[in-house]
Amino acid sequence: MQDLARIRAFVQVFDAGGFSSAARLHGRSKALLSKYVTDLEDYLGVRLMNRTTRKLSLTEAGEAYYREASSLLQQLDDLDSTITDQTAEPRGMLRVSAPRNFGESTLAPAIFEYLKKHPKVTLDLRLEDRYVDLVDEGIDVALRISTLADSSLIARKIADMHVVVGAAPSLIAAIGTPRHPEDLRHLPCIVDVNLQGQSNWRFIENDKTISVPVTGPLRVNSPLAARTAAAMGLGFVVLPSYLADPLVASGELVPVLPDFLPTGQTLQAVYPHRRHLAGKVRALIDHLVDWFAVHPIN
């Protein structure tokens, strides 16, 4: 513990820009901090800091030691927080991002039930159809319907999902049913620009992915609006199952090309890469996994 105190004093002094600043910031005496740093240098047998009356700087050895020591202390602090989180009730602000239509139609009951279970958590739920930078915008966790593309993030699968390609019965009656994805090249399609690939729709044939460019009378940045346009006979559409299934059940949408649709798409909880995950985030993710096991996304 004495060695750890010396290491922490060294990092605190450099971070604060001097012994006096560090003493004021951390409520310790300047003399004690100076002793700790000197003891650390004596133990290592090298000078870590260049000290003058006006300036404090690190030696080459000090720079290398500072990088590793800072990382070590951060990991220890994170570990302390994690253990505290595991034994304490989730609390504090939790910032969550999710697609608007999914959030409104399917996620809301699940996440509000989490709030009922953990009343000390305050939720900032941001429903928007754009790519959110979790780090820059301070988001704790994002719910995304996709495969994970950014290696700087980590994810946990929440539930399986699938997509539906379909059109209104009136359009099917007028122009026929496509038998192969390539048929869509020559048929009116509604492009949701939030869809991965946008106007290049992905299908599976003989275990290989094929991309079919489509065009049509409408490009829109809302899957709900795309669904309405399809139900009115304006074109074929790709929709997540939670939006398509109600219209399929009512007969307003006819599904097509089921044997060519990709599988493996999932709802994921995505969060910035951290060695230790905050308890309130872990509790939310566990809750969502349990919720969608009982309430599967059709």
One fold for both 92-160+265-294 and 163-260?
A: yes
CA distance 204 to 263: 9
Which one of 3.30.565.10, 1.10.10.10, 3.30.56.10, 3.40.50.720 gives the CATH number of domain 4-84? 1.10.10.10
CA distance 190 to 34: 69
Which one of 3.30.1490.100, 3.40.190.10, 3.40.50.620, 3.40.720.10 gives the CATH number of domain 163-260? 3.40.190.10
**pLDDT confidence of residue 16:** 86
CATH architecture, range 92-160+265-294 = 3-Layer(aba) Sandwich (3.40)
**pLDDT confidence of residue 88:** 67
Residue 236 is classified by DSSP as B
Q: Which of 54, 61, 42 is nearest to 17 (CA)?
A: 54
**pLDDT confidence of residue 72:** 86
CA distance 279 to 97: 18
Q: What is the pLDDT of residues 96-139, one digit of tens each?
A: 999 888 888 889 999 999 999 999 899 999 998 777 788 778 78
Task: Break the chain into its structural domains and give their ranges.
Answer: 4-84, 92-160+265-294, 163-260
Which residues of the chain, if any, have pLDDT below 70? Answer: 1-2, 53, 78, 81-88, 146-152, 264, 273-276, 298
Q: Which pTM does this prediction carry?
A: 0.60
* 3-class DSSP assignment, residue 23: helix
